[in-house]
Amino acid sequence: MKRITSVLAAATVVVALALSSTAGAQTTANPLTIYAAASLTGVFGAYDPAQHYSFAGSNVLETQIKNGAPADIFASAAPLNAERLYAAGLVDKPVTFTANRLALIVPKSNPADITSVYDLKTKKVKLVIANPAVPVGGYTRTVLKKMALTSALANVVSQESDVKAVTAKVALGQADAGFVYVTDARAVSDQVTVIPIPAWAQPRVRYEIAVVSKSGNKAAAQAWIKGLLSTKGQAALKNAGFLPLPKASS
């Protein structure tokens, strides 16, 4: 009897494992490898946790794909990175899937007493930004130029490799201020205060996504992108603070 019970228990475990495996087969048996901009970390992970993600600066991911990294999808925080790969025949034609805005963040303690972006011109501020090769770094310099605040670059104490690093430094109080996407600011809203940047000074932040040409799972990759462009995908992005598909995405 004891042996029968053990066999039944073992069989139950096997069946349970089999069922579990079957239930997840469509999403986890052959997950996509998605290379995505660091600013998409929260939203992509929540939208579809079943896929494999590699998050970093879009420029870093672009280089990795050029070097043959085994990605199925590339999602970039700037059109340039995706378009360069497309021109090289390394990804299919990219499409714009969302947009974003920049903000200045300061630690809750606000040691430099910053209340406006214009304070960067008049106050001695330890500023942290991303390096110019990463999209948010380029966008930051566009904002500073548009607002005639490039003198603030003299106060930069650190240039980071992606927006997450900028956000972390400010949230931890290692800098007085930093330029990040509003979506990243939102993720640490308990640690930072957001100083808005006027609409007229905003850069045109557009995200593009494309199937990697060498993907061994192109049909699934195309379906995933279609899902992201669908009402459900766009709602996930909107809930995370991203902007709707832009009316003009030149």
Q: What is the Cα–Cα distance from 81 to 9, expressed in whole angstroms? A: 54
Instruction: Check if the beta carbon of residue 168 is closer than 8 Å to that of residue 185.
Output: no
Closest approach of Cβ 146 to another protein, in Å? 5
Nearer to another protein, 85 or 120 (CB): 120
Total Cβ atoms within 10 A of residue 73: 27
What does the binding site for another protein look like in residue numbers (CB under 8 A)?
116, 118, 142, 145-150, 198-202, 204, 246-248, 250
Closest approach of Cβ 53 to another protein, in Å? 30
Closest approach of Cβ 181 to another protein, in Å? 16
Nearer to another protein, 204 or 226 (CB): 204
Residue 37: C-alpha distances to residues 2, 77, 236 (Å): 56, 6, 16
The dihedral built from the CA positions of residue 150, 165, 212 and 34, taken in this order, carries a sign that is negative
Nearer to another protein, 178 or 203 (CB): 203
Instruction: Check if the beta carbon of residue 40 is closer than 8 Å to that of residue 228.
Output: no
Nearer to another protein, 69 or 201 (CB): 201
Closest approach of Cβ 108 to another protein, in Å? 23
Instruction: Check if the beta carbon of residue 245 is closer than 8 Å to that of residue 99.
Output: yes
Please give the backbone phi and psi of residue 207, each rounded to the nearest 5 degrees, phi first: -100, 135
Q: What is the Cα–Cα distance from 186 to 226, expressed in whole angstroms? A: 26
Closest approach of Cβ 136 to another protein, in Å? 17
Nearer to another protein, 118 or 126 (CB): 118
Amino acid in position 167: T
Closest approach of Cβ 102 to another protein, in Å? 13
Nearer to another protein, 3 or 247 (CB): 247
Residue whose pair of structure tokens reads 């069922």 in the numeric block: 19
Closest approach of Cβ 94 to another protein, in Å? 19
Nearer to another protein, 141 or 218 (CB): 141
What are the b/e assignments for 171-207, b being 16+ CB within 10 Å?
beeebbbbbbbbbbbebbeebbbebebeeebbbebbb
